[in-house]
């Protein structure tokens, strides 16, 4: 379903086996060094979703090759199979012509427990306009997709569930978006995950 120009939601795109594989990989990536961390914002706040990065380390509001705001270690590599997954996701939703020439080289993995949220923001730290690929695992959430001008209305609320794919390309690449709430206890029982996990795949252009 196209939620806005360039923003396509593909429910249940990942089958059960691929969800379990991706979760197992995320659990490995979450281990130290360069594992799961709490992100501190310049204003002195903390993000409620904790994060792991692959390929490039995101910290508000730039990319680095080491965990500059954490344990200082080199960021874990971005595996080739995640790049293949990202290109397949773009081809399936926006069509083969929308697959970027540059390689996907960043994964940002956000872990949400029961009361984690993500405020309305734009993703502007990549130097590429390649589509962002988002994969959800675990609890259902309300994903709020806004507009390119302000973090306020108009916006569209979409429920994201385990296995869902969302691709943000074209004019939607710079739209405001956020996660106003997660629904605890709604993960599929066969997955074995408490909470929600979101993996975004990106092109750094760096």
Query: Does the protein bind Fe ion through residue 125 (CB under 5 A)?
Result: no
- For residue 169, give Cα distances in angstroms to 50, 81, 129: 25, 21, 8
Measured from the CB atom, the residue of 105 and 126 that comes closer to Fe ion is 126
Number of residues interacting with Fe ion: please give it, by CB under 5 A. 1
Min separation Cβ 79 and ligand MD3, Å: 19
Among 170, 169, 160, smallest CA distance to 199 is for 160
The one among 34, 52, 90, 110 contacting ligand MD3 by CB under 6 A: 110
Query: Does the protein bind Fe ion through residue 92 (CB under 5 A)?
Result: no
Query: Does the protein bind ligand MD3 through residue 179 (CB under 6 A)?
Result: yes
Min separation Cβ 68 and Fe ion, Å: 20
Among 137, 98, 190, 96, smallest CA distance to 14 is for 137
- Work out what residue 198 binds among Fe ion, ligand MD3, none; the CB cut-off runs from 5 to 8 Å by kind: ligand MD3
B/e letters for 135-155, b = 16+ CB within 10 Å, e = fewer, are bbbbbbbebbbbbeeeeeeeb
Min separation Cβ 33 and Fe ion, Å: 25
The one among 69, 92, 113, 123 contacting Fe ion by CB under 5 A: 123
> SS3 of 97, please?
helix
Query: Does the protein bind ligand MD3 through residue 118 (CB under 6 A)?
Result: yes
* Per-residue interface string for the shown chain with ligand MD3, residues 135-174, x marking contact by CB under 6 A: --------x----------------------x-x---xx-
Report the alpha-carbon angle 156-140-20, nearest 5.
130
Residues in the chain: 206
CA distance 163 to 48: 22
For tokens 């252009």, the residue is: 205
- Work out what residue 175 binds among ligand MD3, Fe ion, none; the CB cut-off runs from 5 to 8 Å by kind: ligand MD3
Residues that bind Fe ion (CB under 5 A): 123
């Amino acid at each position: 379903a196209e939620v806005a120009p360039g923003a396509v939601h593909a429910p249940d795109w990942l089958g059960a086996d691929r969800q379990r594989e991706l979760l197992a990989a995320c659990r490995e990536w979450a281990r130290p060094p360069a594992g799961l961390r709490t992100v501190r914002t310049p204003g002195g706040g903390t993000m409620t979703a904790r994060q792991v990065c692959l390929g490039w380390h995101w910290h508000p509001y730039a990319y680095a090759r080491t965990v500059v705001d954490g344990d200082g270690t080199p960021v874990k590599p971005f595996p080739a199979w995640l790049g293949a997954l990202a290109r397949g996701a773009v081809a399936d939703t926006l069509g083969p012509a929308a697959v970027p020439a540059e390689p996907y080289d960043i994964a940002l993995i956000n872990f949400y427990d029961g009361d984690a949220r993500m405020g309305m923001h734009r993703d502007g730290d990549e130097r590429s306009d390649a589509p962002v690929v988002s994969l959800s695992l675990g609890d259902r959430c309300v994903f709020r997709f806004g507009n390119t001008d302000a973090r306020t209305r108009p916006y569209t609320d979409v429920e994201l569930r385990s296995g869902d794919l969302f691709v943000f390309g074209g004019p939607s690449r710079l739209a405001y978006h956020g996660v106003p709430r997660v629904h605890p206890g709604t993960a599929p029982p066969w997955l074995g995950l408490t909470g929600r996990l979101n993996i975004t795949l990106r092109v750094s252009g760096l």
